[in-house]
Amino acid sequence: MPSGAMWRSCLCLRHGWRRLLNRPPGGPWASVGMRASIPIPFRAYAPPAERKRFYQNVTITQGEGGFEINLDHRKLKTPQAKLFTVPSEALAIAVATEWDSQQDTIKFYTMHLTTLCNTSLDNPTQRNKDQLIRAAVKFLDTDTICYRVEEPETLVELQKNEWDPILEWAEKRYGVEIGSSTSIMGPSIPTRTREVLVSHLASYNMWALQGIEFVVTQLKSVMLTLGLMDLHLTVEQAVLLSRLEEEYQIQKWGHVEWAHDYELRELRARTAAGVLFIHLCSESTTVKHKLLQE
Tell me the per-residue pLDDT of 132-148, one tens digit each, with 9 for 90 and over.
999 999 999 999 999 99
pLDDT classification of 183: cutoffs 50, 70, 90: confident
- In whole numbers, what is the pLDDT of the chain averaged over residues? 83
pLDDT value of residue 253: 78
pLDDT value of residue 284: 54
pLDDT value of residue 185: 80
- CA end-to-end span of the chain, whole Å? 51
Between 74-78, 152-156, 158-162, 254-258, the lowest mean confidence (pLDDT) is in 254-258
If DSSP states are collapsed to H, E and C, what string results for the chain? CCHHHHHHHHHHHCCCCCCCCCCCCECCCCCCCCCCCCCCHHHCCCCCCCEECCCCCEEEEEECCEEEEEECCEECECCCCCECEECCHHHHHHHHHHHHCCCCEECHHHEHHHHHHHHHHHCCCCCCHHHHHHHHHHHHHHCHHHECCCCCHHHHHHHHHHHHHHHHHHHHHHCCCCCCECCCCCCCCCHHHHHHHHHHHCCCCHHHHHHHHHHHHHHCCHHHHHHHHCCCCCHHHHHHHHCHHHHHHHHHHCCCHHHHHHHHHHHHHHHHHHHHHHHHHHCCCCCCCCEECC
Tell me the per-residue pLDDT of 210-241, one tens digit each, with 9 for 90 and over.
999 999 999 999 999 999 999 999 999 999 99
Average pLDDT over residues 169-198: 93
pLDDT value of residue 91: 97
Task: Look at residue 151 and tell me whether its pLDDT is greater than 60.
Answer: yes
Between 4-18, 59-73, 128-142, the lowest mean confidence (pLDDT) is in 4-18
Task: Look at residue 275 and tell me whether its pLDDT is greater than 60.
Answer: yes
The percent of residues in the chain predicted with pLDDT above 70, rounded, is 78
Best-predicted range by mean pLDDT (147-156, 215-224, 282-291): 215-224
pTM to 2 decimal places: 0.80
CA distance 248 to 258: 18
Tell me the per-residue pLDDT of 21-47, one tens digit each, with 9 for 90 and over.
333 333 333 333 333 333 344 455 555
pLDDT value of residue 250: 83
pLDDT value of residue 107: 93
Average pLDDT over residues 255-281: 89
